[in-house]
């Protein structure tokens, strides 16, 4: 079953300069926190560097050579992202991150379209970024929030979906859970939401880096994601929106670049996508994200997915023997139904202590509530340890995690 | 780019042909390049499906104004249907060599406005109330 | 009068890699568009690079070594910016740019505090980014906009300031005009606005890069600026806000990191400054901006200002002989009252044509409305050409501009 | 960091002293570290200006819980004024070596809660009504 192409993974690893640097204790860096942010390949770092060293200039209004090149590369990056998700270029709006993308919809669509009788349907799996904006919109508009429940394995319970969808004006749902790796079966949910007449927003922050995602096939109105989790730089993210719905929305942030004409007393606005991009864009990082998308395409999203599935299967296999000693793994244990996230607790070792002990071995994991406090409280976990996988991880990384768990057991005298 | 500004371009810039307004325009359109502020308005007098007369107005760089001026000369007497289908070749032929990609939008502004006037006239604008 | 320290400028130039690259026509790059965006010194590019190559990790919740380093450097960058503007660290909120900073205030303070009887006072000099947000707030709240007029030289007319300030709830004003370089005499305006009880926001996008600015001395409530105009990267900006007013404001964007506790139905929010920073921050570029601020400090803001004043004086001296041939220079012609911006038109050469011709000589200037359309219309200019100066410019750059103007005159057969 | 978890720390973590609630608390406070979710509540029974009894509750890592447990032992019988002025030295002395800067916030959570209970009791909380 395990058929990891080691040569390819080694080539991938060589593309990530940080992975060649030992920790201050001289350990190999075993990076298992890609769900928080991914590492960056040379091509991405170099694309940013090249912009600043060779053609840094403000875009869109510049007549001179480097300004023209900056504009071209910036808009080419948008086209690359559009192609990657199968959307039109005008449907790709740059934001800082997934969070800003969701807030843009909350302000520009939510406040306009939701009222006291309306229902926002979301799920118990949501990251704070796809929950708190809707709480605030609900407070401001009088709309109410409703939740698709999650079962003990962190999978959504869809039996009562038809009832839950009654009167729903907005479905705001995650594609993949960052805490448990659950892949939400959107293909079962979206057609019903469409039939119920709901507008659909998907939080794709954890999906885009790991799965091939096609906007036209998914048929969503909005899809939000962040560059930094998909090998791209920090500070750049994307809101995809269907053209018609974006056209109908008022602008969000106002200022330079998003206008058509300004008089002292009133203004008219630019075409898509610029209508939603006020002020000087994050030019360098948009170009960096374009490079990241090309890099992912060169690996092939099918390879990315199968590599993670194989690693996940290997990890579950290696972790299983620790169960009798108190290792609890949360979420769907099935690599078919989950992305590369392993959320766990080991006996009475608190997740933060686990993370500190693993750190001494160079193993980087995340501990805490993973910005899903309500899910944690529902499940009765005060914190979990989370190891998450990506393109540069290997079986050796999983082995290092296991050794770290053994060390933690020794430290805690289990 | 500097070789773009030949005598006939400067002449069209400084002495634009068909500049001003029509007493009776059967079709018109106006647009602005939001990035640089160049603005052009085209007014057409269409008789029997043919552009009998045309005027343009607006402000902007030598490229946008000279291109628009030359375009008005090219389309006088042209069937409206044909004007609606014009490609950017006509502008490139008019202005000749030397236009840089950054300035292409300036060169095409007049054509864009002309086409939207023509298409609007053919298809009928949605009622504006 | 001209006492430019050439050795120091040459050392500065050596810090900017882009300035060593000739254009595709083999010309020296003469960058005179720093008001649009500045070039970046090696220390800034390297700081970003180093983050990605050595310690890229998500911040605040990470226990492991590189996450701790990322958090430290990110918060250290905030502290550097706070010191640079003489503010407390909690008063420095990261945004994408000045535009987002102003919009944050428009949404979180403006929509809460303005109503139909309220007046927003701004000026005729404003960049769209400090005008359009207030037009939208006025539309939404019923507040009205009022303008401090500008005279023909682009200086504000303050005779009627007392009357203009009557009933004003918000003064939203620029510190330096990006189109004309005018330095607005805030020291005359702010005390009166305070006395009138107005809340005060200053758009410092063009001031912070060029002048020593001290938040405590200025006594403003909000001050907005962008990193990319002050030698920093794109994608990062700052909203300074007085602590008490920020504390009283509701959050703007909602999501991860800005919360204290989240339940499915309600949330409470984090302390300053994080309350206003939702989602993963632009970590790399915040660190890059920290490096830019240190670099500016190493030059000394006094030197920055005097270098620009001397260059500006030299430029006016060299440009004067062209006046009889139709060169019109706009704005205050006094290096004491202006920052390093030269806005002009030359006979009937349109600004865009001027920029294209200068480009063939490697001279980069901006042409158009500079995101100040209403000012342009008021002045009756359809466009202006703008050359703007910064730390790496020299008399040789001014000379190249003059030669470019001569060439344009030849091309246009003036 | 791994050398931090010595026997007495693990013992305080697994068998926290003064854990639970007071029947009659004259002062109390609670706080959470918003970044990791660790939560601690402190309840004080103050008699004649002295901390006669104390209980803590909450959840979190070995560092936060053991530090809080040890702190409750340190402050029993301490004048409230003194508790309000405690510096982080008391925690560092209690837990000893090996705490990394990233985990300092965990170690100090109990102290922060104690101090806000003590200061609140001395200064009087603003009416919450
Ligand atoms: C005076 C002024 N305000 C605001 C801005 C907006 O800055 P940014 O585009 O970085 O948000 C600019 C920059 O163009 C400016 O010059
Ligand atoms: C599922 C999910 N949604 C949204 C976000 C927010 O992403 P960002 O912090 O980049 O805005 C995250 C990342 O933490 C996530 O995992």
Residue D77 token pair: 């019988």
* Confidence band, pLDDT 50/70/90 cuts, at residue B121: confident
Domain identity same for C263 and C379: no
Low-confidence ranges of chain A (pLDDT < 50): 1-2
Average pLDDT over residues B113-120: 92
Residue at C1 is within a domain: no
Confidence at residue D96, expressed as pLDDT on a 0 to 100 scale: 86
Q: Give yes or no for residue C341 CB within 6 A of ligand 1.
A: no
Residue of A296, A384, A346, A335 lying closest to A181 (CA atoms): A335
Q: Take atom 12 of ligand 1 and give the residue whose Cα is closest.
A: C205
Residue C298 alpha carbon to ligand 1 centre in Å = 25
Q: How far apart are CA A225 and CA C301, in angstroms?
A: 40
Q: Is C371 a catalytic residue?
A: yes
Domain identity same for A270 and A325: no
Residue at C81 is within a domain: yes
φ/ψ of residue B54, rounded to 5: -155, 145
Domain identity same for A387 and A262: no
**What residue ranges define each of the domains in chain D, with the CATH number in brackets?**
2-120 (3.90.1010.10)
* Confidence band, pLDDT 50/70/90 cuts, at residue B1: low
Domain identity same for A176 and A190: yes
Confidence at residue C330, expressed as pLDDT on a 0 to 100 scale: 98
* Residues paired with residue B121 on neighbouring β-strands, in sequence order: none
In sequence order, what DSSP letters do the residues of A13-60 get, joined into one string? HHT-GGGGS--TTSPPPEE-BTTT-----HHHHHHHHHHHHH-----S
In sequence order, what DSSP letters do the residues of A323-337 get, joined into one string? GGGTEEEES---TTT
Whether residues C61 and D100 touch (CB distance < 8 A) is answered with no
Domain identity same for A304 and A258: no
* Residues paired with residue C150 on neighbouring β-strands, in sequence order: C156
Compute the nearest-CA separation of D36 from chain A (Å): 5
Domain identity same for C283 and C314: no
Radius of gyration of chain C (CA): 22
CA dihedral sign of residues D108, D113, D116, D119: negative
Residues in CB range of B128: below 8 A, 6 or more apart = none
Domain identity same for A118 and A243: yes
Domain identity same for A304 and A255: no
Residue at A36 is within a domain: no
Confidence at residue B123, expressed as pLDDT on a 0 to 100 scale: 80
Taking the CA atoms of residue D116, residue D121, residue D124 and residue D127 in that order, the dihedral angle to the nearest 10 degrees is 80
Domain boundary among C281, C298, C315: C298
Residue C27 alpha carbon to ligand 1 centre in Å = 29
- List CB contacts (< 8 A) between D34 and chain C: 259-261, 270-271
Q: How far apart are CA A48 and CA A40, in angstroms?
A: 11
Residue range(s) defining the domain that contains residue A308 = 7-31+300-411
Q: Which of A24, A128, A368 sits opposite C259 (nearest CB)?
A: A128
Q: Give yes or no for residue C182 CB within 6 A of ligand 1.
A: no
Low-confidence ranges of chain C (pLDDT < 70): 1-4
Task: For residue A337, count other CB atoms closer than 10 A to its CB.
Answer: 16
Residue at C114 is within a domain: yes
Atom of ligand 2 nearest to the CA of A96: 11
Q: Give yes or no for residue C203 CB within 6 A of ligand 1.
A: yes
Question: Which ligand neighbours the alpha carbon of A256 most closely?
Answer: 1
* Confidence band, pLDDT 50/70/90 cuts, at residue D125: low
Domain boundary among C255, C276, C298: C298
Strand locations in B35-115 (E): 39-47, 50-59
Average pLDDT over residues B95-107: 86
Distances, alpha carbon A303 to alpha carbons A315, B100, C38, C385, D96, in Å: 18, 42, 41, 52, 49
CATH no. for residue A399? Answer: 3.90.1150.10
Confidence at residue B129, expressed as pLDDT on a 0 to 100 scale: 38
- C-alpha distance across the termini of chain C, in Å: 33
Residue B60 token pair: 């902007």
**Catalytic-labelled residue, pool A200, A371, A383, A405:** A371
- List CB contacts (< 8 A) between C49 and chain A: 45, 48-49
The reply to whether omega before A273 is within 30° of 0 (cis) is yes
Whether residues C368 and B36 touch (CB distance < 8 A) is answered with yes
Residue at A1 is within a domain: no
In chain D, the percentage of residues whose pLDDT exceeds 90 is 73
Domain identity same for A223 and A284: yes
Domain identity same for A59 and A122: yes
Residue at C38 is within a domain: no
- C24 burial level (CB within 10 Å; 0-12, 13-18, 19+): exposed
- C284 burial level (CB within 10 Å; 0-12, 13-18, 19+): buried
Question: What pLDDT digit, counting tens, does each position of A95-121 carry?
Answer: 999 999 999 999 999 999 999 999 999
Domain boundary among A250, A273, A298: A298
Residue A205 alpha carbon to ligand 2 centre in Å = 5
Q: Give yes or no for residue C129 CB within 6 A of ligand 1.
A: yes
Domain identity same for A268 and A334: no
Residues 318-347 of A with CB under 8 A from D: none
Do A293 and A316 touch, CB atoms closer than 8 A?
Answer: no
Range in A257-261, B14-18, C250-254, D86-90 the model is least confident about: A257-261
> Between D31 and B128, where is the model more confident?
D31
Question: What pLDDT digit, counting tens, does each position of D23-79 carry?
Answer: 999 999 999 887 677 899 999 999 999 999 999 999 999 999 999 999 999 999 999
Residue D78 token pair: 């301490």
Residue of A128, A74, A79, A86 lying closest to A103 (CA atoms): A128
Atom of ligand 1 nearest to the CA of C96: 11
In chain D, the percentage of residues whose pLDDT exceeds 70 is 95
Range in B17-21, B91-95, D102-106 the model is least confident about: D102-106
Domain identity same for A113 and A198: yes
Q: Which of C65, C253, C377 sits opposite A99 (nearest CB)?
A: C253
Q: Give yes or no for residue C197 CB within 6 A of ligand 2.
A: no
Domain count for chain A: 2
């Amino acid at each position: 079953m395990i058929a990891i192409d080691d040569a390819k993974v080694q080539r991938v690893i060589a593309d990530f300069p940080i992975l060649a640097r030992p920790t201050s204790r001289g350990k190999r860096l075993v990076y298992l926190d890609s769900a928080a942010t991914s590492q960056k390949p040379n091509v991405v770092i170099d694309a940013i560097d090249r912009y600043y060293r060779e053609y840094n200039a403000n875009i869109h209004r510049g007549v001179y050579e480097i300004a023209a090149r900056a504009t071209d590369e910036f808009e080419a990056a948008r086209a690359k992202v559009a192609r990657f998700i199968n959307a039109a270029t005008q449907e790709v709006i740059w934001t800082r991150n997934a969070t800003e993308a969701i807030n843009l919809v909350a302000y520009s669509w939510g406040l306009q379209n939701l009222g006291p009788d309306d229902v926002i349907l979301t799920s118990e799996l949501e990251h704070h970024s796809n929950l708190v904006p809707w709480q605030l919109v609900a407070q401001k508009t009088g709309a109410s929030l409703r939740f698709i429940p999650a079962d003990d394995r962190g999978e959504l319970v869809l039996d009562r979906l038809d009832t839950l969808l009654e009167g729903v004006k907005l479905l705001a749902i995650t594609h993949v859970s960052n805490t448990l790796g659950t892949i939400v079966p959107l293909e079962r949910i979206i057609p019903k939401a469409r039939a119920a007449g709901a507008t659909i927003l998907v939080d794709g922050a954890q999906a885009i880096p790991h799965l091939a995602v096609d906007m036209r096939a998914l048929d969503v109105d909005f899809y939000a994601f962040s560059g930094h989790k998909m090998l791209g730089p920090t500070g750049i993210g994307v809101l995809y929106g269907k053209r018609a719905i974006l056209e109908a929305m008022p602008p969000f942030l106002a200022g330079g670049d998003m206008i058509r004409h300004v008089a002292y007393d009133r203004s008219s606005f630019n075409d898509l996508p610029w209508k939603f991009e006020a002020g000087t864009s994050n030019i360098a990082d948009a170009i960096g994200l374009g490079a990241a998308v090309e890099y992912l395409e060169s690996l092939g999203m099918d390879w990315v997915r199968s590599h993670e599935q194989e690693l996940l299967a290997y990890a579950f296999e290696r972790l299983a023997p620790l169960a009798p000693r108190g290792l609890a793994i949360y979420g769907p244990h099935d690599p078919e139904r989950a992305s590369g996230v392993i959320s766990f607790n080991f006996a009475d070792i608190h997740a933060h202590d686990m993370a500190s002990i693993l750190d001494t071995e160079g193993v980087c994991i995340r501990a805490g509530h993973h910005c899903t406090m309500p899910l944690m409280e529902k499940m009765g976990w005060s914190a979990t340890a989370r190891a998450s996988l990506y393109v540069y991880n290997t079986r050796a990384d999983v082995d290092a995690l296991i050794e770290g768990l053994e060390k933690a057991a020794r430290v805690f005298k289990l | 780019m500097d070789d773009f500004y030949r005598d006939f371009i400067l002449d069209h810039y400084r002495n634009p042909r068909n500049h001003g307004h029509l007493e009776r325009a059967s079709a018109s359109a106006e647009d602005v390049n939001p990035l640089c502020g160049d603005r052009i308005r085209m007014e057409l007098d269409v008789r029997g499906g043919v552009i009998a007369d045309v005027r343009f107005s607006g402000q902007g760089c030598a490229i946008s104004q000279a291109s628009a001026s030359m375009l008005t000369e090219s389309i006088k007497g042209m069937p409206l249907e044909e004007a609606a289908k014009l490609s950017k070749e006509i502008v490139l032929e008019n202005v000749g060599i030397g236009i840089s990609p950054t300035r292409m939008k300036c060169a095409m502004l007049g054509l864009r406005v002309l086409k939207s006037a023509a298409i609007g006239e053919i298809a009928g604008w949605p009622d504006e109330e």
